Structure 1
Amino acid sequence: MAGLLAGAATPDAWREKARTGLAAGREALRRRFEAGEAVDRLVPACCADADALVLSAWRLCLPEDAPLHLLATGGYGRRELYPQSDIDLLVLGEPEAQQAHEAAIGRFLSLLWDAGLATSHAVRSLAQCAEAAGTDITVLTAMMESRLLAGDTAMPAALAAALAPPGLWPPADYFRAKRAEQMQRHARFNDTAYNLEPNIKEGPGGLRDLQTVTWMGMRLYGVPGLRALVPLGLLGEDECASLEREWRVLARLRFGLHLLAGRRQERLGFDHQKALAALLGLRDERRDNLAVEQMMQGFFRAAATVIRINDRLLQRFEEQLAGEELPEPVGERYELRHGYLAMREPERLRAGMAPMIELFAAWAGAPLARGLHSETARALGESLGAIRPYGEQPAATRQAFMALLQGPAAVTTLTRMARLGVLGRYLPAFGQVAGRMQYDLFHVYTVDQHTLTVLAHMDGFARGPDPRFALAHEVLPRLRKPHLLLLAGLFHDIAKGRGGDHSELGAVDARAFAEAHALPQADTDLVAWLVEKHLLMSVTAQRQDISDPDVVARFAREVADREHLDYLYLLTCADIAGTSPKLWNAWKDRLLADLYAATRFALRRGLENPVHANEIVAETRAAAMERLLAEGLSRQEVERIWAAYPDVGFLRYRPEQIAWQTLGIAGAGGEETIVLVRPHAAGGGLEAFLRTPDRDGLFAAIVATFDRLGLNVLEARVLGSSDGHALDSFQLMSPQGTPPEPAQVAAALRAALRDPARVRPSRRAAPRQLRHFRVPVQVGFDHLADGSGTRMSLVCTDQPGLLAQVAQVLRQHRLRVHDARIATFGERVEDFFLLTDERDRAIGEQARLESLREAIVACVDGDGGHGKEKAQH
């Protein structure tokens, strides 16, 4: 680079050569990166190219005798530069020199920008540097890492002296401010590194965390970097080597991301993940171990290590600043130091799992401990290699582990063991899924983090009623052995990424673990069954009509008894809620509670005596009548309204829904169109009921109206009354969390019902994230056994306005919708419709079905799934 610029005597010539040289330099870096050259060589090389440009421009613009000094600061100052990083510069000189050369400094900075170097700069004297540092800790931090580019070699030392007065950010103040800054930064990312699109630089466990503890070490102890903390006893050699290793992982990801993006980009978004994995040389191994998943697992594991050691260092710095404090004994072998649990003889941990179990048991018994003392945590980390898998452990150790699992703080203990790397060593299958993500929008956590979240929900069930879960706190106390539920939660996804059915493979793992830990045969069988069948209840509830007695009977036969039902219900609730914070809602809670209640009744009645539809209808009518009589309606008035209701309505709706609908009709004063909207009991969603003269296209107009209001339809019940009215019910959710007011929704529906033919779906651009995923369109048909209808299934990529557009296609084909179940799993949609022709019969002609299939595919997939204006279902 320096040779290329040597002959550039004018600014114009320099600009041209600099742009060419910068582009050539970045291309050379790309080739070296693709060839696998170590990132700790590439980062300094990138910095050297920038140095050559900056120095050349400085010499071109500033006279050699100018009393000014040019320093690199921040990341550029510590020679950690990435292809699109900013260049942080400090022009140091007295005010008179600044003023005399103001125009030349401006020309210098303009040249750098013209060349393509993004530059941030400051022009200050030493006194001004001290003043700015005193008011802004980020200014101080940037100048702490300065190095000389041009000028007097004594200036870096002079700057360091100017920033050294005791009153200028004393070590304790600096530590507190930087720790608070890190906490605020982590909070912006929900305090977790496990984001679908993590920030490599600023997120928890990212490069900034490494830099933060480095800066603290510099300010508190005057050392030049992390490795200099090792001789001081503040950082173990193993810890330092781990941080250096993880820096290389993170730095390589950031370097490659800059090369791909062609601009400063720190968030590893979906638009770059696949390309970056390819640039790193990773390849898909199989469908459930994609290259992008391998890359992200590497990131998450590196981030977890950085977080772990970062926490230890912060604790050590805090203790050093706090000074000596008498420890508080905790039993014979432990004590609290500055509030943290310490092992008096941490070298015992080198013996492996047995003393570690003792440590975690002591920790569980010390609720006032702020955490594990850093020295004990370091000894634990250095002893991880001594842990043998559970299959090689003595029986006493396995029994001790089970005792932890049955203790009152079992979930907290398992989470601690996972975070500190112990669980993955004892249970190698768990170690394999540590940091493993799935490349989709449905699973927002890595497998290990999802598992721990599931266990946390199970723990919550035991703490008392939670309005989000209707029955969980009632069911949990009935469990014979609650720790078996935790075991099922621990193993339910443990086989992901291996190829094959993870439920079946996980059941094999669970059985082996249970047998090795001497669980009774009945307990072993139960845990293995739960792992193998952990998706059964959610699939049944969300994809089938659970108001159908045959559906409930089939599910009851699979479950077989009350014990299996109780465990499976709780596992299913925890699994769904632990998949994504946005996935669990009042509708899903009600759905699972209804299936649980119906199955419990079927089991109590006996599988040999299946419940028949006419019995359910009679029970629903009686229960609804009781409610309505209590509300003041007469039996005659209720029977008059119900005379037009089809029997299937009493099969599909709960008694309280029938009562709500009936009260609305009774209070309408004979109006032809009635619209009722109410919030879900647990909040977060709406239920809508419409009674209006039936006509074709009604369903399409209604769902298009919901789409315009930003509401997702979760379930639709579309019935026809004997007096020519549609009786339509919808369960609705808002993806934004807060739905519109019921009155607003009701008004919009009334307006749409005045002229349904004029209502059309809105068209909006697909959300950015959806554009990076592709689910092949699948349309399937099958007929009801009695020929009364045709079921249509639709699997495809989610997109804006999907249901409204599909409804328009059904309308164009003169088909009627009688039932719809809408399920969205991240980017994947699985919708089910019950259809009839215009004469309310199954769609018998094969040609008509093929025509419908082609139209649905064309509607859903018309743009090949690459961003045509569509909107979120």
Structure 2
Amino acid sequence: MSPGSTAEGQERAQAARTRLDQLDADLAARFDASEAAHVLARARADGVDALITEAWADCVPSDAPLALFAVGGYGRRSLYPQSDVDLLILGDEDAQVTHRDALAGFIARLWDAHVQVSHATRSLADVRAAAAEDITIQTALMDSRQLLGDAAMDARLQDAIGVGKIWSSDEYYAAKREELRNRHARFGDTADNLEPNIKEGPGGLRDLQTLRWMAMRVYGVTGLEQLEAMGKIGRDERVTLLRAASELQRLRWGLHLVAGKREERLRFDYQRLLAARLGGLEQADNSDVERMMQGFYRSAALVLRIGERLLQRFEEELEGDVEPEVLDPGFELRGRWLAARHANWPHGDPAQIFALFATWSHLPEGTGLHSRTARTLAESLPLVPDYASASPALRTQFMHLLQQPEAVTTLRRMSQLGVLARWIPAFARVTGRMQFDLFHVYTVDQHTLALLGNFALFQSGSDEQRFSMAHEVWPRLRKPELLLLAGLFHDIAKGRGGDHSELGAVDAREFCEAHGLSAADTDLVSWLVLKHLLMSVTAQKQDIADPDVVQRFAETVADREHLDTLYLLTCADIAATSPKLWNAWKDRLLADLYVATRLALRRGLENPVAAAERIAETRAGTRAILRAYGVTEDAADTLFLSMPEESFLRGHPEQVAWQASVLAKAPAEALHVAARTIGNDDSSVLEVFVHSPDRDGLFAAIVATLDRVGLAIQQARLLQGPDGSVFDTFQCMPIDPQRPVPPALVEQRLRDVLSKEDLASIRPPRRTQPRHLQHFRIRPQVAFGDAANGRRTLMSLVCTDRPGLLAEVAQTLRAQGLRVHDARIATFGERAEDVFQLSDERDLPLDESRQQSLRDALLASNTGESPS
């Protein structure tokens, strides 16, 4: 029987467990009293040391030729509430065999005491071989700390894994640098994720540890103080890193407490709990969560910024001196690094800082800023005034930067290096600011930079697949810098309270006037900020095939320059909000509104297009396309007679021609189903066309079937044909972007379902709500208005999004005996905003009684309760 399994051993394990529980309770209380997390982590490591030492003494003979080491984070005396306790038992193979039972009892005792131990038992030769093969093992051993055994074993271990034996400085740095790149890539190369990983994500604690390990291998030092003494890091940089580390450690300790398990990701499940605990609150609201997360994002950004400088210094140390190439009187190239030529740069002059960015903008992509210059720039940031108090010459210099072809890259660099936040204090206030929802997946500053990055794509024309028209519109801009300013200010007032568009427009106007822009240019920038949501809302919530909608939008836009700039700003804004938000459907929707508005402006706002004119144009365009399909004029006219007049009012010639060609292939059939893919990338839209005799439950059955095959409807258009049939068109996206749905499968499933006599049994599948949606609840709202000149009722539903929502709404509408003529589905993170055009079974608008009945039914289905 092993020593760890005796009755006495069990009693001691229970006593150790009680002590560990008490230790953790005491440390939790100290954390709630605001004691520093790194102090608590060391105290926990010391407490676990005592438990392990006692267990070893109980289980392993004192004369056993074995040594016990703490490795990894435990080796650094840094142990969080849910961290693993990593141990290395070192001894030759004979000793391992002789004391196998004793070691098994030792490990069992620790597990019985609830010490989360992970261990390896190796000989010195095994250790060297494992470390040489796996840099992770090598790294863990670099943090080893001997707990028990022959003291000489520590020196032998360090010698076995030393620079002269395995992993030279160059090799180790290169491997860890690649490891860091790959790790960052797993998180999208940004710390600004909605649920960031405090430990492994960019700017997280692992980055700090990686810098320390590199310093150990390159310089032979173990801490920031030694690096500062060597002149490899400045005092301000060291203090900043320590402050950021303290914030990250505090968040990680608190996360372990509220999660009650090993968790390194700040998931929505825990963000409110953690914000409440950190603030000593019973319950945290959104603003508490946003403040906590802003602290994380700012700390992570500082780690990334200073870490990049340190990485470069490590490279400089390994590469040796490089002969500089003089660029101009102020700057030179050192390898691929831009450096100031003079030791006293920037000479106390902020103009020299702007000159740095001007020189940098003309250098090849991939040119970095030399670490010494980057450090000097960081120390010189107080020289940079806010624009309101800057000299006219400095303001002119900034505008010149915006007028260069690489202006977007320059703004991104100025943001990353802290200059932009100094120049525009309002930008500093939104740096690291997040919004506690699922729509805005980046912080405000990162969203803004991503928007500007999309402008660079428009300028280069390098992403024509995603943005079908933007590259054509961009060259027509009179002054691209005006659009850059609008992008820079469009969300700058987020978090202040009030309408951020209105407040941002005021900021933009003040900035433009201070920089000497003309009245017309100032008005344009301010208008773009004020109206930056107009085109998106119009396209997604209104029927842009309605000439009246286009006319109203055109009257607001008023001229071609406002239209061009608003279109580009809208495309860039939507695509920068979330990687999943931009797709071929939104691209087409905005392009359609842009083209329709451009035609309205060309025609003249005093000459609005009439419905008859629009129908005639679409018929002519459709005929031309059908001729290419081999359809004669007479055959086209026959097809047109079987189609709704409204198809030609609201549809594209290309779309109407596709539907007509589907009818032409089997004119005698009553049911036609067709599906096609629009676009050829990951954001492709599946367009589905259904021509069928009208009957009760048809819309609900189609919606349920599309849901079952894995499609989410973005837009539905339902038209009545002249012979009692329906012409329904759906724009769909895969529910799971990784699992595209073949058009042939959609066609077959719809034919099977719609061929049934009874559609009442067609129900949507039951879907579980995704975890991330469970933490966001929106009070459902149902509103009614007039549509189609009073001939139909417009119903809008705002509620929490969930899988199968539209299918449930369709079932409710069917149960109410209502007809759906149009549906526009918009999802903004966790928020669904759906709009339907409805009529009763007699094709009349809903009276007040029917509206109230529908409202009650929808609210009941969305809350699970009857409305009060």
| TM bracket, shorter-chain basis | over 0.9
How much has 1:386 moved relative to structure 2? 2.4
How much has 1:662 moved relative to structure 2? 0.8
Change (3 A) 1:282 1:292: farther
How much has 1:735 moved relative to structure 2? 3.4
Change (3 A) 1:784 1:144: closer
Give 2:720's aligned residue. Answer: 720
The answer as to 2:318 corresponding to 1:315 is no
- Whether the 8 Å CA contact 2:275–2:284 is kept in 1: the answer is no
- Whether the 8 Å CA contact 2:713–2:825 is kept in 1: the answer is yes
Distance 2:105 2:825 in 1: 62
Question: Aligned partner of 1:118: which letter?
Answer: Q
Distance 2:423 2:397 in 1: 13
Distance 1:298 1:273 in 2: 13
Distance 1:276 1:480 in 2: 50
Distance 2:40 2:163 in 1: 37
- Comparing 398-407 with 653-662, greater Cα deviation is found at 653-662
Tell me the C-alpha RMSD between the 2 structures.
1.8
Question: Aligned partner of 1:780: which letter?
Answer: A
How much has 1:97 moved relative to structure 2? 2.2
Question: Aligned partner of 1:50: which letter?
Answer: V
- Whether the 8 Å CA contact 1:488–1:527 is kept in 2: the answer is yes
Distance 1:547 1:360 in 2: 47
Question: Aligned partner of 1:272: which letter?
Answer: Y
Q: CA-to-partner distance for each residue in 1:792-832, whole Å, 9 max, x for gaps? A: 10001111101011100111111110100000111110000
Once the two structures are superposed, the pairs formed by residues 73-152 of structure 1 within 5 Å of their partners are 73-152=71-150
Give 1:826's aligned residue. Answer: 829
Give 1:5's aligned residue. Answer: none
How much has 1:158 moved relative to structure 2? 2.9
Change (3 A) 1:282 1:638: farther
Once the two structures are superposed, the pairs formed by residues 180-191 of structure 1 within 5 Å of their partners are 180-191=178-189
Once the two structures are superposed, the pairs formed by residues 687-836 of structure 1 within 5 Å of their partners are 687-737=687-737, 739-755=740-756, 756-784=759-787, 786-836=789-839
Give 2:250's aligned residue. Answer: 252
Q: CA-to-partner distance for each residue in 1:698-720, whole Å, 9 max, x for gaps? A: 00000101101111111111111
- Whether the 8 Å CA contact 1:316–1:374 is kept in 2: the answer is yes
Give 1:546's aligned residue. Answer: 544
Distance 1:18 1:343 in 2: 60
Distance 2:676 2:346 in 1: 59
Distance 1:249 1:624 in 2: 63
Give 2:298's aligned residue. Answer: 301
Once the two structures are superposed, the pairs formed by residues 558-637 of structure 1 within 5 Å of their partners are 558-637=556-635
Give 2:392's aligned residue. Answer: 395
How much has 1:57 moved relative to structure 2? 1.3
Give secondary structure in 1 for the equivalent of 2:460: coil
How much has 1:137 moved relative to structure 2? 1.6
Give 2:435's aligned residue. Answer: 438
Distance 1:712 1:155 in 2: 63
How much has 1:789 moved relative to structure 2? 1.1
From 323, 326, 338, give the equivalent of 1:329: 326
Distance 2:343 2:479 in 1: 34
- Whether the 8 Å CA contact 1:350–1:383 is kept in 2: the answer is no
Question: Aligned partner of 1:499: which letter?
Answer: G
From 272, 276, 297, give the equivalent of 1:274: 272
Distance 2:516 2:790 in 1: 53
Q: CA-to-partner distance for each residue in 1:171-218, whole Å, 9 max, x for gaps? A: 111111111111111111111111111111111111111111101111
How much has 1:469 moved relative to structure 2? 1.5
TM-score using structure 2 length: 0.96
From 355, 372, 375, give the equivalent of 2:372: 375
Once the two structures are superposed, the pairs formed by residues 211-610 of structure 1 within 5 Å of their partners are 211-281=209-279, 290-349=287-346, 351-367=348-364, 370-464=367-461, 466-610=464-608
How much has 1:286 moved relative to structure 2? 11
Give 2:844's aligned residue. Answer: 841
Distance 1:740 1:410 in 2: 41
How much has 1:416 moved relative to structure 2? 0.5
Distance 2:349 2:629 in 1: 68
How much has 1:391 moved relative to structure 2? 0.9
- Whether the 8 Å CA contact 1:350–1:386 is kept in 2: the answer is no
Change (3 A) 1:481 1:368: closer
- Comparing 586-595 with 605-614, greater Cα deviation is found at 605-614
Distance 1:722 1:692 in 2: 12
Distance 1:338 1:547 in 2: 57
From 196, 199, 208, give the equivalent of 1:198: 196
Distance 1:405 1:735 in 2: 40
Q: How many percent of aligned residue pairs carry the same amino acid?
A: 57
- Whether the 8 Å CA contact 1:686–1:739 is kept in 2: the answer is no
Give secondary structure in 1 for the equivalent of 2:272: helix
- Whether the 8 Å CA contact 2:276–2:282 is kept in 1: the answer is no
How much has 1:682 moved relative to structure 2? 4.8
- Whether the 8 Å CA contact 2:38–2:78 is kept in 1: the answer is no
From 849, 852, 868, give the equivalent of 1:850: 852
Aligned length: 855
Change (3 A) 1:93 1:858: same
How much has 1:741 moved relative to structure 2? 1.2
Distance 1:10 1:211 in 2: 41
Change (3 A) 1:689 1:369: closer
Distance 1:675 1:125 in 2: 70
How much has 1:260 moved relative to structure 2? 1.0
- Whether the 8 Å CA contact 1:339–1:368 is kept in 2: the answer is no
Distance 1:173 1:142 in 2: 17
- Whether the 8 Å CA contact 1:340–1:372 is kept in 2: the answer is yes
How much has 1:355 moved relative to structure 2? 1.1
The answer as to 2:681 corresponding to 1:678 is no
How much has 1:421 moved relative to structure 2? 0.9
- Whether the 8 Å CA contact 1:458–1:574 is kept in 2: the answer is yes
Give secondary structure in 1 for the equivalent of 2:195: coil
Distance 1:166 1:232 in 2: 22
How much has 1:513 moved relative to structure 2? 0.6
- Whether the 8 Å CA contact 2:14–2:112 is kept in 1: the answer is no
Question: Aligned partner of 1:199: which letter?
Answer: N
TM-score using structure 1 length: 0.95
What 5-or-longer segments of structure 2 have no aligned partner? 1-5
Distance 2:653 2:176 in 1: 59
Change (3 A) 1:296 1:214: same
Distance 2:850 2:365 in 1: 70
Question: Aligned partner of 1:161: which letter?
Answer: D
How much has 1:500 moved relative to structure 2? 0.9
- Comparing 732-741 with 479-488, greater Cα deviation is found at 732-741
Q: CA-to-partner distance for each residue in 1:500-524, whole Å, 9 max, x for gaps? A: 1110110011011101111111101
Distance 2:452 2:57 in 1: 63
- Whether the 8 Å CA contact 1:352–1:383 is kept in 2: the answer is no
Give 2:3's aligned residue. Answer: none
Q: CA-to-partner distance for each residue in 1:816-864, whole Å, 9 max, x for gaps? A: 10100000111110000011111111111x2322121111112222289
Distance 2:578 2:745 in 1: 29
- Comparing 11-20 with 127-136, greater Cα deviation is found at 127-136
- Whether the 8 Å CA contact 1:89–1:120 is kept in 2: the answer is yes
Give secondary structure in 2 for the equivalent of 1:791: strand
Distance 1:664 1:647 in 2: 17
Give 1:4's aligned residue. Answer: none
Question: Aligned partner of 1:730: which letter?
Answer: F
Question: Aligned partner of 2:654: which letter?
Answer: E
